[in-house]
Amino acid sequence: MNDHQTRLSLEDAWTLSIDVLEQNGFSQDQAAAIARSVMAAQRDECHSHGMYRLLDCVRTVRYGGVEPRAVPEIHEKAPGVISVDARGGCSLLAFETAREPFIEKARATGVAVLAVKNAFHFSALWPEVESLANQGLVALAMTPSHAYVAPAGGHSPLLGTNPIAFAWPRPESEPFVFDFATSVVARGEVELHRRAGESIPEGWALDETGQPTTDPSAALAGALLPFGGHKGAALSIMIELLAGPLIGDRLGHQTRPADGSDEGAPQHGEFILAMDPHAFLGTGVATRLQQAEALFEGITAQGARLPSQRRYGARKRSQAEGVIIPQKLHDELVKLRDP
């Protein structure tokens, strides 16, 4: 920890988050769902979607981009399809509202999709898929975010940063989980570099004229690049299609980001798929989960790490020692709590 940072217990960080949200108009339920997500991210040291995102939540409610007291509404669409209308509120309470019926559906039908619609969506996806894997399900989630990313070979923002997250239950440890943007990094990471006065690595972004840049402000005004060139871009397009037109919601370029810039509605959708291994394997689930363990052991035996390994380590550390956030962020949050 350095002089520009402050340490908070998990309890104090939780209380500060809730107070900031409720003071700025979010209902108790909306605030709690948002705080659970940003606190999980802060605890696991996923800084780009941790407490810093509370600033976006307040900014968005102030310009009218989110309905802070929305009550989500569940719709049964088909035996394996459930939809939850966030009604302009945050995606997080919509997911939480639909989570139990979704799990029941996945268990009853073997495979189920949850379509979250009309949601202000700012969060990391891993808490959602991890929570499903903790119930023994295999889960995949994706959302189209906003037009921040140039297509491979292009020069202007069109695709979202479009994250994809996957979780696999493990018999004797936390689930295997990955969750990443299909841009080289999440835009939040570029924003954190800008706030810290640091340049970004080459290969992350283009400026407004389509030239490569290492200046985070120029990158935020320009376009991020997809990871892996045409491969990341194709995955990103798939995410736009599944979490947009397929579920009856918007593409990334039809939305407006949290800062209220650009035309369009601030809300969009999320697509979540859950698969129950029992439907595929019956009594053979334990054997097959053990087979998967051999793959994980093979990876770590080479000295490589599993996605989520760092995060679970950070979780243990934060549970013992609390979280560290920039002093500047703490001051900004206190100001939002005590206007």
List, by residue number, the catalytic residues: 48-49, 189
Q: Which does 179 bind (CB under 5 to 8 A by kind): ligand PYC, ligand NDP, none?
A: ligand NDP
Number of residues that bind ligand NDP (CB under 6 A): 27
- Please state whether 45 falls in left (phi above 0), alpha (psi between -120 and 50) or beta: left
Residue from 23, 279, 309, 324 binding ligand NDP (CB under 6 A): 309
Shorter beta-carbon distance to ligand NDP: residue 152 or 285: 152
For ligand PYC, the closer CB: 82 or 205: 205
Residue 231 touches which of ligand PYC, ligand NDP, none (Cβ within 5-8 Å per kind): none
Look up residue 217 and give its two tokens.
């402000």
| Interacting span for ligand NDP (CB under 6 A) from 124-132, 149-157, 204-212, 216-224 | 124-132
Draw the binding track, 162-181, toward ligand NDP (x: CB under 6 A; -: no contact): -x-x------------xxxx
Q: Measured between alpha carbons, how far is 144 from 158 in angstroms, rounded to an integer?
A: 11
Question: Which is closer to ligand PYC, CB of 73 or CB of 215?
Answer: 215
Among 24-32, 161-169, 195-203, 286-294, the segment contacting ligand NDP (CB under 6 A): 161-169
Among ligand PYC, ligand NDP, none, what binds residue 252 when CB lies within 5 to 8 Å by partner kind?
A: none
| Sequential DSSP letters for 186-216 | -HHHHHHHHHHT-PPPTTSEE-TTS-EE--H
Question: Any residues with CB less than 8 A from the CB of 270 and at least 6 apart, and which?
Answer: 91, 95, 115, 116, 119, 121, 125, 141, 142, 143, 243
Residue 238 DSSP label: H
The b/e string for 241-271 (b: 16+ C-beta within 10 A; e otherwise) is ebbbeebebbbbbbbbbbeeeeebebbbbbb
CA dihedral angle for residue 80, residue 85, residue 23, residue 323, rounded to 10 degrees? 30
- Of 67 and 276, the one with the shorter C-beta distance to ligand PYC is 67
Residues in contact with 158: Cβ distance below 8 Å, sequence separation at least 6, in sequence order: 147, 149, 150, 151, 252, 253
Residues of the shown chain interacting with ligand PYC in the complex, contacts defined by CB under 6 A = 48, 122, 145, 161, 181, 186-188
Please answer whether residues 5 and 15 qualify as being in contact, where contact means their C-beta atoms are separated by less than 8 angstroms.
Answer: no
Cα–Cα dist 163/263, whole Å: 22
* Residue among 187 and 253 whose Cβ is closer to ligand PYC: 187
Q: How far is the CB of 198 from ligand NDP (least distance, A)?
A: 15
Q: Is residue 48 part of the contact set for ligand NDP (CB under 6 A)?
A: yes
**Which alpha helices (H) appear in 74-167, and where do they start and end?**
91-109, 126-133
Among 14, 95, 120, 122, binds ligand NDP (CB under 6 A): 122
Binding ligand NDP by CB under 6 A: which of 52, 95, 126, 168? 126
Do you know the residue count of the chain? 339
**Closer Cβ to ligand PYC, 236 or 318, answer by number:** 236
Contact residues: ligand NDP, CB under 6 A:
46, 48-49, 121-126, 143, 145, 161, 163, 165, 178-181, 185-186, 189, 305, 307-311
